[in-house]
Amino acid sequence: MRPSIVRNPVGSERDVSVGPWCDGERARRYDCAGNRHFYGTLLTRLVAGAGPFPQGRGLDLGCGSGFATEGLLQAFPTLAWQGVDVSAPMLARATRKPALSAVSLCHAAAEALPHVAGSFAVVVCNFSWHWFQPSAGEEVLRVLRPGGWFLVSAPLRHFSSAEGNRWLARRLHERRRSFRRLASQGVRIEEMAQLLPGDMRIHRLESVVIEERFPDGRALAATLESRGSLQAIFGDSDLEPFTDAPAGGVAFEWHVGLLHAQVRT
């Protein structure tokens, strides 16, 4: 069975025509082996200690090309998984993956989900929550059933002394008047619970560090661009300002917040 892409009759509240994954070429750059490893690692860290969940449906919200969805299918095979994303090119890539053939994919915005209330036992946002508008929280709470679980991984605002992070921080400082506030800087771990849409019980809240090594700064910049990070921070993804990237092996640290919360019954 091939997955189907269901159009959201409500429509997207947000113009993604200029977003990091707006066209087929950007989705192609995103959907590479290095990113599969990175997002898969994040997902593994996120689901550690989660479940077992009751039978039902699971929602991978902001599923992109399906890296986390693959991990969710393996970790919780008894749930019926659905992926939702606002980018049609990303969903088109997920549709072509045999490993996702049992997953139904839905083209919708997190802020306007086309599902009835209480449809899901679990909603997972693996490095996607920070792209949504705040109203997505109300939608998550609406579609989760009582006792349902919400699992989130999100980038944390954190100083790191790794060479790649210091280089990016210098770029941020130089271009501080132009970088975008919303998605750019992440949240602090102690602010993460404030992302929760309502009165939920927190079972896990912790920060982890994931380190990556790149052959040189150009490779780091290209990876950050493919993940939408440069666009999130600077509002564009022009790699030209990054020509002074450090040479030689470059380390980069991602500080990531992990949250497990449950709707009170």
Q: What is the 3-state secondary structure (H, E, C) of the chain?
A: CCCCEEECCCCCCCCCCCCCCCCHHHHHHHCCHHHHHHHHHHHHHHHCCCCCCCCCEEEEECCCCCHHHHHHHHHCCCCEEEEEECCHHHHHHHHCCHHHCCCEEEECECCECCCCCCCEEEEEEECCHHHCCCCHHHHHHHHEEEEEEEEEEEEECCCCCCHHHHHHHHHHHHCCCCCCCCCCCCECHHHHHHHCCCCEEEEEEEEEEEEEEECCHHHHHHHHHHCCHHHHHHCCCCCHHHCCCCCCCEEEEEEEEEEEEEECC
79 in Cβ contact with 57 (< 8 Å): yes
**Chosen residue from 57, 67, 103, 139 binding ligand SAM by CB under 6 A:** 67
Binding to ligand SAM, residues 34-53 (CB under 6 A) = 39, 43
Using the rule CB under 6 A, give the single segment among 85-93, 140-148, 154-162, 235-243 that binds ligand SAM. 85-93
In whole angstroms, how close is the CB of 113 to ligand SAM at the nearest point? 9
In whole angstroms, how close is the CB of 84 to ligand SAM at the nearest point? 6
**Chosen residue from 85, 139, 163, 225 binding ligand SAM by CB under 6 A:** 85
**Chosen residue from 110, 122, 143, 144 binding ligand SAM by CB under 6 A:** 110
**Chosen residue from 57, 103, 123, 126 binding ligand SAM by CB under 6 A:** 126
Cis previous bond, 20, omega within 30: no
Instruction: Determine if 87 is a binding residue for ligand SAM (CB under 6 A).
Output: yes
Instruction: Determine if 261 is a binding residue for ligand SAM (CB under 6 A).
Output: no
Using the rule CB under 6 A, give the single segment among 44-52, 86-94, 138-146, 160-168 that binds ligand SAM. 86-94
* CB closer to ligand SAM out of 143 and 163: 143
**Chosen residue from 62, 137, 155, 217 binding ligand SAM by CB under 6 A:** 62
* CB closer to ligand SAM out of 86 and 141: 86
How many residues form the binding site for ligand SAM (CB under 6 A)? 21
Binding site for ligand SAM (CB under 6 A): 14, 21, 39, 43, 62-64, 67-68, 85-87, 90, 109-111, 126-128, 131-132
